[in-house]
Amino acid sequence: MSTDTVTLLLTGILGALLGGWIASALFGINVNDAFFDLPTWGFAILGGLIVSFIWSAIAGRRAA
């Protein structure tokens, strides 16, 4: 596996965890209730976007 693949996998996993934390901490949504629940997927995707944005900001600074 290349480094990019591992980075993408870790970003997705961390994003899903962050999204679950945001959903339960801020909105009181139980993310362990159902796997195929739309809010669960939505917050996981939102968390992935947040982690991706933070990662690109950190990686962009390193390259500059």
Span 15-60, pLDDT tens digits:
989 988 888 898 888 877 776 788 888 888 999 999 988 888 888 7
User: pLDDT: is 33 or 12 the higher one?
Assistant: 12
Q: 22 — alpha (psi -120 to 50), left (phi > 0) or beta?
A: alpha
Q: How does residue 14 score in pLDDT terms, banded at 50, 70 and 90?
A: very high
Structure tokens belonging to residue 4 = 């990019």
For residue 30, what are the domain limits? 3-63
Crossing angle of helices 3-27 and 38-63, in 10° steps, is 130
Q: What is the DSSP letter of 50?
A: H
Report d(CA 14, CA 7) in Å as an integer. 10
- The pTM of this model reads 0.75
Count up the domains in the chain and report the number.
1
